[in-house]
Chain A
Amino acid sequence: MDELTVLLGYFASEMVLAIGGIAILVINFTSPNVKGRYLGYLAACTVGVSAFIMPWQGWFVFEAQLVRSTLRPFFSFCLSPDMYATYFKFAIAIGMLITILASLDYVEARLNGVSAELYALLCFATLSMSFMVSAVELITLFLAIELTSIASYALASLDTSNPRSVEAGIKYFLTGAAATAVSLYGMSLIYAFSGTTNLREILNMQTEVGAQFPHLILVSLIMVMASLGFKGALVPFHAWAPDTYEGAPTPVTTFLAAASKVAAVGLIARFMIYGFSESLELWRPVISTISALTMTVGNLFAIPQRNIKRMLAYSSIAHAGYMLIGLAAVSQAEIDFMMGKGLLERTDVAMTGFLLYALGYAFATGGAFTVVLAVSHLLGTEEIPEYDGLSQRMPHLAWALTIFFLSLIGIPPFVGFFTKAFVFAGAIYSGLGWLSIVGVLNSVVSGYYYLNVVRHMFLLPPKAQSVERTAPSTDAALLIALLGTVVVGLLPNPFLQWIRDALNGVILMLR
């Protein structure tokens, strides 16, 4: 295959996203009379097509590695063509697809004036998140983070008629700017000791530099973590999350929780393992501490919330913590496997759990927000007490939300059970038993606030009797999320195989 075919093939989904986003804006300014709803359909098609293409991009991965000469520097210096990237891109695009389908009604009712901007920005954000999870070079990585962040700032403050939305955007922007500055300093430190911005070459410098200045590596890693942790809303960089999640328009909250977070954890794992796996013992305590803090703070603060968006904000903070257990517990055998050496043993499940968690989380959180969006659109409320008796008024929404919450708690047979089982087992095998105890205790605590909503929906009498019908687009989003939550839980094998392919030799690529 010639180079151009490989290039077009591998970046097909990114091109679809870019063209779709631009098309939405062009349609909007050439013919302003086109309804926002149709632009939403176009955005959903764009993201859906790119999600459909992504698994097949893996086929071009191997072709891309065969192509030498002109393409090679482009690939190996900026964006890595590997299955790890395609896996995360798929999870992100699925999260975005659910987001867009679920928000069509809400946007038409409340954000009609800016619907073109909203959908176009969502497409561009998907594009930049695709770059985030495939970046293997510090400057590309930074640009991808910034592109996602700028789209998110604009999205969060899109509802200009609502002061809370503007406040959400400003808070997000100010904390984001500070985090960016700190992380740039960290990157400059990395450049100072390695003399390169390429993660692979940084990895090669590690043993040498690590012996001389271990503290330098640690300090620069913590600084870069400030920015990555900010995007993933990890404690102690989470302060923006609850206010922004609550104030931002609900579709944007869905995007931040279901897609932006997945991209952030994908990037963190790539950065730590791809660039710094030689210093594993140096950053393992940092990641496990952040993980334990994130879980505990997220779950404890979720308990007293009455606003369901705010509760889900804290819950999504907590889930980023669970995911990080998988990264903190990565074993040497797994790193060797990613280097293309050796095989995975039965006990090397931490990274597998990490990747599966990201996908399962995107499905379950996207689904939960779909229900929140539908209820917010039909009943005009986001307070948990208003969910009373939802099972009698809109039983399918109530049942779906219950399933998503059970998956988020980690109850079999839903996907959340397997993902949590994998990361906790991985932590035990890697000698981080305390972390898995913290994780299990946190899961129990999280059961309280999730099941509280279920109690409101099923056990308390409804406050009104009106029965509303949900739109077909909402049902489609619910169906995708339910299929993901149930099918990946019942038949995880194809996904586990995909994850294994994604991990196999990911660091080896294009040496």
Chain B
Amino acid sequence: MHFAADYWYVALFALMGVIFIFVALFLAWLIRPHNPTPDKLMPYECSVRPVGEARVQFRIIFYLVALLFLAFDVEVVFLFPWAVVLRELGSIGLGLLAWFDMMLFIGILLLAWLYAYRKGMLDW
């Protein structure tokens, strides 16, 4: 059965991958010099010395702006295919309906934006 045979290759590949990790680590352990310093033992963080706590406070407004951005980002994702097929829909007589649908969608999003605005989410 081809289906099962294919999966045996995957299993074999996964097994070889796991074995390779341990072999490589073992060989490195055999030949490497052992000379730790405090600097070396520090957690690696993109070549920057770790400063301060991991739990930093940042303004919650970044989160809100990101959320609003996401809403409009998704709106564009929906608008684009709609704009592409609108002419086609118009030719079969659904143009008005499609236009109305999208206006409704934009209207609801606009209300969401107004809500965010009136609640002071955009006050920096």
Contact = CB atoms under 8 A, between A and B. Distances in A.
Interface of A: 22, 25-26, 28-30, 70
B99 to A, nearest CB: 15
Nearest to B107: A22
14 contacts: A22-B108, A22-B111, A25-B111, A25-B115, A26-B111, A26-B114, A26-B115, A28-B115, A29-B114, A29-B115, A29-B118, A29-B119, A30-B118, A70-B94
B15 to A, nearest CB: 22
Nearest to A32: B118
Contacts of A29: 114-115, 118-119
A24 to B, nearest CB: 11
Given A22-B108, A26-B114, 12 more contacts: A22-B111, A25-B111, A25-B115, A26-B111, A26-B115, A28-B115, A29-B114, A29-B115, A29-B118, A29-B119, A30-B118, A70-B94
Contacts of B118: 29-30
Interface of B is mostly: helix
A30 B115 CA distance: 9
B60 to A, nearest CB: 11
Contacts of B115: 25-26, 28-29
Contacts of A28: 115
Nearest to B116: A29
A70 B118 CA distance: 40
B78 to A, nearest CB: 13
A118 to B, nearest CB: 14
Nearest to B112: A25
Contacts of A25: 111, 115
Contacts of B108: 22
Contacts of B111: 22, 25-26
A30 B117 CA distance: 11
A26 B118 CA distance: 10
Interface of A is mostly: helix
Interface of B: 94, 108, 111, 114-115, 118-119
A131 to B, nearest CB: 16
Nearest to B118: A29
Contacts of B119: 29
Nearest to A213: B3
A22 B119 CA distance: 15
A29 B113 CA distance: 11
B12 to A, nearest CB: 21
A25 B108 CA distance: 11
Nearest to A212: B3
A30 B111 CA distance: 11
Nearest to A4: B97
A28 B94 CA distance: 36
B18 to A, nearest CB: 22
A450 B108 CA distance: 46
Contacts of B94: 70
B4 to A, nearest CB: 10
Contacts of A70: 94
A390 to B, nearest CB: 40
Contacts of A26: 111, 114-115
A8 to B, nearest CB: 13
A26 B108 CA distance: 10
Nearest to A22: B111
Nearest to A30: B118
A30 B108 CA distance: 15
B3 to A, nearest CB: 8
Contacts of B114: 26, 29
A209 to B, nearest CB: 12
A29 B114 CA distance: 8
B10 to A, nearest CB: 15
A25 B115 CA distance: 7
Contacts of A22: 108, 111
A319 B115 CA distance: 39
B2 to A, nearest CB: 12
A28 B111 CA distance: 12
A455 to B, nearest CB: 48
Nearest to B92: A70
The 4 closest A-B pairs by CB, nearest first: A29-B118, A29-B115, A25-B115, A26-B111
A28 B114 CA distance: 11
A114 to B, nearest CB: 11
A180 B118 CA distance: 33
A83 B94 CA distance: 29
A450 to B, nearest CB: 43
Nearest to A120: B115
A29 B111 CA distance: 10
A497 B101 CA distance: 38
Nearest to B1: A212
A30 B114 CA distance: 9
B77 to A, nearest CB: 14
A70 B108 CA distance: 25
A4 B119 CA distance: 37
A26 B111 CA distance: 7
Nearest to A23: B111
A119 to B, nearest CB: 14
A28 B112 CA distance: 12
A70 B89 CA distance: 12
Chain A CB within 10 Å, residue with most, of B94, B114, B115, B119: B115
A132 B108 CA distance: 21
A315 to B, nearest CB: 36
Contacts of A30: 118
A25 B109 CA distance: 12
A122 B118 CA distance: 21
A87 B14 CA distance: 50
A333 to B, nearest CB: 36
A25 B111 CA distance: 9
